[in-house]
Structure formats: C-alpha cells, structure tokens
Amino acid sequence: MEQAFEQIFQDKIDREVRIEPKDWMPEKYRQTLIRQISQHAHSEIIGMLPEGNWITRAPSLRRKAILIAKVQDEAGHGLYLYSAAETLGISRDQMYDQLHTGKAKYSSIFNYPTLSWADMGVVGWLVDGAAIMNQVPLCRSSFGPYARAMVRVCKEESFHQRQGFEILYVLSKGTEAQRKMAQDAINRWWWPSLMMFGPKDDESPNSIQSMKWKIKRFSNDELRQKFVDVCAEQVKVLGFTLPDKDLKWNEERGHYDFGPINWDEFWQVVQGNGPCNKERLDARKKAWEEGAWVRDAALAYANKKAKQKQVAA
C-alpha cells in the first residue's frame, strides 16, 4: 500500500504536478521540507539584525526609509515561509523553539558583523544577490505553498539588490575615504557570499533524493559559478576589485576561474563559532522573551472580548 502511494506521489512529481499540504507524501519528504523551509524562514528573521543595526545611523532620510522598508520585507519573507512550513504540521512556536535552542540553523552569512555603512551596500549587492540566485529555482519547488511563498519573496527581493548596488555606486563616486570604506566592505563579504551556495558538489555526502523530489534543481557549483561571472563584471562598473588574486576570465570554459574557498571557516561559522553567532541568537531570544507579555495580553484581551460577546448574546 505504502509503495503504491509512493509511486503515485513520484508520478505527480515527474509530471510537474505540485504537491499540496493535504496530499499524501512520504514522511521523509515532509521532514526535509519542514527543515528546509523553517531554516529558510529563520534566516530571513535573523537576517533583519545585521541591517537593523544601521537604521538609526543611515546617512540620509532617503536611505533610512529604504532600509526600514527592506528590513520590513525580510520580516514579511520570514512570515510567508513560516506559514508555508506550518501547512506541514509543525507549529510556529515549535519552530521558534528550535531556533532559540540552536537546534535549527539559519544562514551562516548573518553571523558576520556589519561594520560600516558600506556594508549595507554590499549586503544588498552580494548577499541578496546570492540569495536571489539560490531562490529563483525554488519558485518551481514541488511543494505548492513553498513555491508560492518563494514567488512573492523573489518579486520583492530584486529591489533589495538594486538599492545595495546603488549605495556602492554612490560611494564609488565619492571621496577617497568613501571608496576605501566600500572596497573594505567588499573584501570582507566576498568570500562569505560565495560560501552561501554551500559545499562543493563532489564533497557532498547526501543523497540525490531531493533532486528526484524536485525540491532542489541546480547544483551548488553551477549557481556559484553563475554568481562569480555576474559579479566579476558588475564590480568593474563600480571601479572596485574582488579580493581574489586567482580571479581570471577563462576563455576555454567561458567562465571566470576563481580561488579556493575556506570551507573550514564555513563549517566553523555554521557550528556556532562565527564572529556574531552568540550575539544574533541572544538578540533574537531577548526579543522573544521580552515580547511575551504583549502576546499574552493580546490573547487575554481577545478571550475577554469573545466572552463578553457570548454573554451579550
């Protein structure tokens, strides 16, 4: 019986029919999706912190309004994704609990500090740029609610990247000190951005199951190469450089060659030893704990109102 269901399920996937929450699905598919979607949601929520850091210090009212809108979008993206995960049978509070206890991860890129205003430009250009490249294929994910959430996310994300590039473009036309600040930010964020695509394909121990189920569509290295090719050209417009002495156009491959990535650093950060892991999680937990009375009060008020209505009726 189980096998018959599995066959029907795989047939649907092969025909590109989306799976919806109430449809039968293998338990492993459900769990993989809950893990993926919830950790994606956590990344959006934690991702607000490094940029929130600069809202009060944005250099103009225009920049401040843009940054607030961007951070608000990230909150929205987190909420779309949490809702998508909830359709699989996990509760919002359970997901928060996994984040706060460190059981669930979020993108390691947010464990790096945002030291200068130029970081807001680089986060938009490189970090959101890498995220978009990773996320566009997810709009065709086999799980309907995830795919629909990602369509919304991707639509909103492109302003994020453009505003970041604009920040850097303005700095590139600025004073020597501003150009230095921008170059320094690029130097610090370039390699962590490349790590966002995940380990090299041939070092990956996991199965091809997720490809078969069409949760995943492109390999890490394919997307990373595409990202490098795009950025190597865009950085010329800015008149800055990428911090990689091996970066060179390869006529034969039709791609840029680039230097080796420090995977030790990557796994160190994932496992909690990055520059800001503790700070980020503490900020998140503080917000959750100190907001408890608001959640309780709103619920108590709603219950009271409902009861009054009952008595009146």
Closest by CA position to 238, among listed 138, 122, 144, 151: 122
Q: Is the CB of 205 or the CB of 254 nearer to another protein?
A: 205
Give all strands (DSSP E) within the chain, no chain letters: 248-250, 255-257
Alpha carbon 94 to its chain's center: 20
Q: How far apart are CA 234 and CA 191, in angstroms?
A: 16
Distance, CA of 266 to CA of 281 (rounded, Å):
18
Check binding of 73 to another protein (CB under 8 A): yes
112 near another protein (CB under 8 A): no
Rule CB under 8 A: say whether 86 interacts with another protein. yes
Q: What are phi and psi of 284, to 5 degrees?
A: -65, -45
Site residues for another protein, window 131-190 (CB under 8 A)? 131, 134-135, 138, 148-149, 152, 156
**181 Cβ contact partners less than 8 Å away, ≥ 6 residues apart:** 116, 117, 118, 171
**One of 1, 206, 253, 264 touching another protein (CB under 8 A):** 206
For residues 53 and 114, is the Cβ–Cβ distance under 8 A?
A: yes
- Binding of residue 83 to another protein (CB under 8 A): yes
- Token output for 259: 């230097």
Q: Which is nearer to another protein, 86 or 182 (CB)?
A: 86
Choice from 40, 70, 179, 280 touching another protein (CB under 8 A): 40
Residue indicated by tokens 């009054």: 308
Furthest-apart CA pair in the chain: how many Å?
A: 80
* Closest to 235 measured CA to CA, from 70, 121, 135: 121
Strand, coil or helix: 44: helix
Tokens of 227: 């990202």
**201 lines the binding site for another protein (CB under 8 A):** yes
Is 61 a residue that touches another protein (CB under 8 A)?
no
**Chosen residue from 53, 172, 187, 210 binding another protein by CB under 8 A:** 210
- Residues in the chain, how many? 313
Kindly state the smallest distance separating residue 118's Cβ from another protein, in Å: 23
52 contacts another protein (rule: CB under 8 A): no
* Interface of this chain with another protein, residues 247 to 306, rule: CB under 8 A: 267, 270-271, 295-296, 298-299, 301-302, 305-306
CB of residue 54 vs another protein: minimum separation in angstroms? 20
Closer to another protein at the Cβ: 87 or 187? 87
Interaction of residue 49 with another protein, rule CB under 8 A: no
Does the footprint of another protein cover residue 224 (CB under 8 A)?
no
The least CB distance from residue 168 to another protein, in Å, is 23
> Cβ 248 to another protein, closest distance in Å?
27
What is the C-alpha to C-alpha distance for residues 302 and 270, in angstroms, rounded to an integer? 41
- Decide if residue 67 touches another protein (CB under 8 A): no
Interaction of residue 213 with another protein, rule CB under 8 A:
no
Among 13, 66, 90, 231, binds another protein (CB under 8 A): 90
Task: Identify which of residues 230 and 299 has a Cβ nearer to another protein in the complex.
Answer: 299
Q: φ, ψ for residue 50 (rounded to 5)?
A: -60, -30
Q: Does 207 bind another protein (CB under 8 A)?
A: yes
Q: Are 47 and 153 in contact (CB under 8 A)?
A: no
| Binding to another protein in span 9-28, by CB under 8 A | 20, 22-24
